[in-house]
A and B are shown apart, each in its own frame.
Chain A
Amino acid sequence: MAQIFPRWTNRSPTQVLIALLVFGGAVTFAFYWWASPSNTDVGYKPVQPVAYSHELHAGTLKIDCRYCHTYVERSQFAGVPSTQVCMNCHSQAKKDSPLLAAVRKSWDEGRGTQAIPWKRIHKLPDHAFFNHSAHVGFGVGDNRAAIGCETCHGRIDTMAVVKQVEPLSMSWCIACHNDPAASIRPVSAMTTMGWKPDLAWVEKAKGIAETLAPPGAFSRAQRQQQDGTYLTFATSGCNGCHR
């Protein structure tokens, strides 16, 4: 009796399996690569209702970040300035500039009720609770330190239009929380753009990072690596961010 299946079909299950694995791997990789925040969110640069330039205000004029983002040391939100804050200066400076038409409309001689609809750039998912004030001043006494604005937001002073530079993904958060020493700086340098640590600070930062370790009998805040180095965990419980 003649063979129904030709000889090459003997290999087809293997081939199909390999093809499926490759395909599955490709799909996984595609999601990992193109659907991760570092692809979808980094570089997000919406057009704002007012052509406000951070490059000019923060870079050239060197206005402190906190002049507008007032609540950064007090609240979970750094705060977007009220129209009044813009008008503090622009009632005098460039008072007739066409670029400021939207601001003047919102202000409406102090009688305005319509907010400027700024586009939100940095956003965490609803189940992640981030608090600005917890990151711009921590540690006790001599061990006080901060995370700089630029660490997460990038060189705002060079951006004419602000964009997102870091993925703000969980692994990105954890990377810093696992090794905060590399990212902390003196509180006084919090808003400084382009700040570089000196050698003394690098050493001091290691000590500070150790004090940030939460003690606990259940999870080791400091973990010894294979090579004998220690990693410091600034927050080891889930409920610091997920409540």
Chain B
Amino acid sequence: MKKDPYAPLGPAMDEKPKFWRSLEHKEGDPLVKAAISLEFPDGPPLLANSKVYSRRDALKLAGAGAGTAAVLSSCDAIPLRRPEEEILPFVRAPEKVIPGIRKMYATALPRAEGALGVLVEAHEGRPTKIEGHPDHPSSLGSTDVWAQAEVLRIYDPERREGPVHNGSAATWDAWEAFAQASGEAWGQNGGKGVAILAEEHDGPTFARLLNEFKSKYSNARLYRWDPLCPDATLLGASIAYSAGTRVAHDLTKVKTIFSLDSDFLASGPQHIALARQFGASRAIQASDDLAGMMRLYAAEGIWSVTGTNADHRLRIAPGLLPEVLKDLAHRLVTVHGVDLGPIGTRVASGSLPEDAQKFVAAVAKDLANHRGAAVVMVGERQPAEIHALGHAINAALESPSPTVLRHSADPRESMYDSLAALTKALNNGDVDTLIIFEANPVYTAPGGLKFGEALKKAKTVIHAALFPEETGAQATWHVPIGHSLESWGDAHAFDGTVSLIQPLIHPLFGGRSQLEILSQLLGVSDKSDKNLVEDTWRKDGATLASATSWRTALHDGLLVGSGFAVASGAPDFAAVAEALGENPGSAPSTTSFDLVADFGHAQDGRLTNSSWIMELPDSITKLCWDNAALMAPATAHALGIKSHVSKNKYSADVVVLEVDGRTIHVPVFVFPGISENTIAIHHGYGRKVGEVAKEIGVDVNPLLARGNTLRGVKVTRTEATATICSTQDHFSVPGNPFHEMTFEAATTQKKGAPERTLGLGSRQLYRSGTASEYKVDAEKIAKKGEIEGVLLGPSLGTTRPTQPVQGTDAIVYEGQQWGMVIDLSSCIGCSACTIACQAENNISTVGRDQVLLGREMHWMRVDRYFFGDVSDPTAVHQPVNCMQCENAPCEPVCPVGATTHDEEGLNAMAYNRCIGTRYCSNNCPYKVRRFNYLDYSHTGDIYVEPYWKERMKTFALQRNPDVSVRYRGVMEKCTYCTQRVEEAKIAAKGDGADRKALPDGAVTPACAQVCPTHAITFGNIHDEKSRVANLKKSARNYEMLQELNIRPRTTYLARVRNENEELA
């Protein structure tokens, strides 16, 4: 038989992929296949329900165009000359402010888990980008998704410009008069009936003012509510050690980690520092490094980022998780002779399933073998006593990781108890005036408490927060406060390091700082937030009394050596044993589900009004602009629930979740890796207010009571279906890109020949191996699935090149040549790179409707692949940005030369040259080019919808002035942050240095800068000594789709998993 010249050269097309993006991808759903071969599947051009563009707008637009034409033609002369522009210099130029040169300020973002030290970039007084603070213990130079999104919040036009009294705008004078009168009245009765509800993060100054408040108005009560607070973690330390302690971790000497339902790599206290240490140990470059490589075990019912990074993950129902740790403790005591004192008798081997028992036995053995180098991390969703048990095990294992710190002398009440006490007091009529700082309990309070109804019983509610939100809408007074980038303040990092907060900009909407508002209620109205912070630190004899020390601390953003005192002492085994109690866990069933409400990128909802956060696909599910009830395939099958792919989106059955008479309706997303009879759902959606966030997704709070794990949930299928938005199949890299190379292949279909839809051939885009494989042959891992010499094969006519366009050794580099290496071993999949890129490069968000058409604009995406068993797969992450191919397929097809190579190997993109043919994107095998289908940036010269014109007034201030803002019809993509490269070159010129030989590290793209694990390395590959050139020599280095010979400048280091052979 004659050979079909178009037959794929690689694995057969109909072979099912070993690494799959979704259940449908694995099964070869024709819609997924079709979506892969059509990069931008044709959707309806404009959605009828789109708020932004409708047919009516098209008519308006036509009208506007006609109007413009009429105006132009009626003029005598068409104004060819550009409009007059003004330059407004300073009257008195401030020292060190140079227009055009960015300035970095050290400050901190207060958080429940401890402040994050950051450096904020300001352009002519506008904060535009947040970077990590290299000297701050909680940042170490990196940040996370939430820090990146924080900068957008200050420009949100929904912030109020002044106080709101009973729903109508009031003046600051009116507020101040009210505050003074209230203060005087409370002075009379000692603040009877006054209550304050605050979040967790008190800085020293806020705490000082709260103490003054309590002593001045002795009858006033203080309550706390902060869903993001590491509450159980702190309470667990109180049980195991003593009240007012916390446990900080340091993984540098750790070899074996057991994570129980914990996401210590991606959220919670110290997550950036812990991720850095974890990543560093996993980035092995030689066999010797294997000895220091951490091994991570995780047990969880739902996915966490940490779980995706685990070498062994136990999928187990949330209801059984406490049993896992008890079982582990039992085994450590009975099998491995670890001394847990009285705890030993309180823990017994529970009723764990067989696979879990095997897992726990292996973990126990590994932990015991690594005594002195092992640690157990317990997640925030576990009860305090399980945290205490974790501390006890760590102490018994002589773990080098924990350090006990004393942060307070007071015993701690749990957040839930505090809010419940407030609700009770409100219902009893004990609270006349409630002052709420920042918290949004009307939305975030668990439904079981019925807080919203209780709040109505207070006579006066004062809500001091950045946005009115749901609580502000119910409040008597909403007092807008300044963002932490707009006001003075101070905060403690998790380890206690005092971090000073300084403003970068005068409050944009005129808000007052929290400190000022509290001070006004104390009857002091003449002190600014700066005065109040100075009162704390600069009083005679105070730490920063001298001007030098104050200025140094302000410059550094922190007070060196100001951490909490180390509390010595071993955990109290007896107290832990007592706290454990007798409450055996049980597995859920089809009639009684477990439900876990977890915090994704949207957190508890405080960040949902940021479009960056809403559009950022979840690290694991890749859901964006949506949340859903995740359910294992087997469970869904048993209940007859379906969710199926339908062109870029998922259509899902809606279920009713019911517990104790409280119900919510939520669509189901059938998702592998969730434990049976378990539902996972993200917090923060289903908001009632906020232009960005409202009416998107489902609010899980009404279902909840104490804690975020719920048992005994009844699930009933309804007849309704809903659309959910997941990008997991978007921008799939075609499995067999050769077919895109010929027109004929795409158009002709011979009889009997295999179907030529692209996409499912098993190209090994993601490569990984085990540590033992690495030890035997380090290069083998990176060569897995490599297709040898494809382009060197026999000539098959003119349709396919017969030899490499440019041989590997034929290329002689000159000067500096930029390249990037992404280490898949240390990448944890946190998605911070995606959003950092968005902030740096003025990337637009497109909205839910457009994402459903596959039009999201992120230049850097993080592909998540699964491999293994459908019900219990392993998940891996692969960040993909433009590879800056040396033989870039996008360049020759551009009819206008808008995309060309520069002399340093960057695949440049001249946006204003682009005419929008999209040929380049079609020809890009990695699918990393993004097209502005509509005016996503809202910068149109002719017509911008008034709604957007108004909104963009403030949002436009966030934009990076060094990067073009792209308009409709323009292709855009990653250029390794070419503006940063140029900036470094210009700086070198100014210094008289050679701009063609920048030192290693002179340029760091936004993605590499933000990366908590330093998984992304950028530099000059022509410099033998550079970090990136050395990484490219690594045995783990591989090119994605190397068989195409397009020579990508971004290469990957194959992941090495540190598997335990007993469990493999």
Contact = CB atoms under 8 A, between A and B. Distances in A.
A133 B98 CA distance: 12
Contacts of B92: 82-84, 110
A216 B86 contact: no
Contacts of A243: 962-964, 975, 978-979, 982
A138 B91 contact: no
A101 to B, nearest CB: 15
B81 A44 contact: yes
B90 interface: yes
Contact of A214 (B98, B911, B996): B996
A107 B91 CA distance: 6
Interface string A210-243: 0000111111010000000000000011111011
Nearest to B901: A218
B51 interface: no
Interface string B807-850: 00001111101000000000000000000000000000000000
A236 B87 contact: no
Interface in A30-83: 34-35, 40-41, 44, 46, 71, 73-77, 79-83
Contact of A106 (B91, B886, B901, B978): B91
Contacts of A112: 91
B993 to A, nearest CB: 7
B93 interface: yes
B82 interface: yes
A123 B905 contact: no
A138 B978 CA distance: 19
A242 B911 contact: yes
Given A80-B89, A120-B85, A71 B901 contact: no
A140 B993 contact: yes
A112 B88 CA distance: 13
B85 A71 contact: no
Contacts of B84: 46, 119-120
A36 B672 CA distance: 61
A217 B1021 CA distance: 13
Contacts of A140: 992-994
Interface in A99-130: 106-107, 110, 112-120, 123, 125-127, 129
Contacts of B964: 126-127, 242-243
Contacts of B90: 82-84, 115
Given A40-B80, A138-B989, A243-B962, A79 B91 contact: no
A131 interface: yes
A110 B985 CA distance: 39
Contact of B89 (A35, A118, A125): A118
A27 interface: no
A96 B90 CA distance: 22
B691 interface: no
Interface centre among A79, A85, A237 (most CB of B within 10 A): A237
Contacts, number: 169
A170 B1062 CA distance: 67
B197 to A, nearest CB: 40
A217 B89 CA distance: 44
A144 interface: yes
Contacts of B89: 79-83, 115-116, 118
B902 A133 contact: no
Given A214-B815, A243-B975, A127 B911 contact: yes
A137 B905 contact: no
A118 B86 contact: yes
Contact of B901 (A40, A76, A119, A219): A219
- Chain A interface size, as a band, is 35 or more
B390 to A, nearest CB: 49
Interface residues of B, number: 55
A190 B908 CA distance: 32
Contact of B996 (A125, A215, A218): A215
Contact of A239 (B81, B91, B902, B995): B902
A221 B978 CA distance: 19
B87 A113 contact: no
Interface in B874-920: 886, 900-906, 908-913
A134 interface: yes
Interface in B660-697: none
Contacts of B99: 71, 75, 77, 79
Given A237-B904, A242-B912, A74 B86 contact: no
Nearest to B979: A243
A137 B900 contact: no
A134 B48 CA distance: 50
Interface in B292-311: none
Contacts of B81: 40-41, 44
Contact of B82 (A123, A127, A129): A123
Nearest to B902: A237
A40 B989 CA distance: 33
Contacts of B31: none
B122 to A, nearest CB: 14
Nearest to B903: A216
Given A214-B904, A217-B814, A75 B98 contact: yes
Contacts of B982: 129, 131, 239-240, 243
B100 interface: yes
A217 B962 CA distance: 27
A135 to B, nearest CB: 9
Nearest to A138: B989
B101 interface: yes
10 A-B pairs closest in CB distance: A237-B902, A216-B903, A215-B814, A215-B815, A239-B908, A75-B100, A115-B88, A82-B93, A76-B100, A120-B85
Interface of A: 34-35, 40-41, 44, 46, 71, 73-77, 79-85, 106-107, 110, 112-120, 123, 125-127, 129, 131, 133-134, 137-138, 140-141, 144, 214-219, 221, 236-240, 242-243
22 contacts: A41-B81, A46-B84, A71-B101, A74-B98, A80-B89, A85-B93, A110-B92, A112-B91, A118-B86, A118-B88, A129-B979, A133-B990, A134-B986, A138-B989, A214-B903, A216-B815, A216-B904, A216-B905, A238-B908, A242-B910, A242-B911, A243-B964
Given A83-B90, A106-B91, A236-B902, 12 more contacts: A34-B80, A80-B87, A80-B89, A81-B89, A117-B88, A119-B85, A131-B986, A133-B986, A214-B996, A221-B903, A242-B911, A243-B964
Interface of B: 80-82, 84-93, 98-101, 811-815, 817, 886, 900-906, 908-913, 962-965, 975, 978-979, 981-982, 985-986, 989-990, 992-996
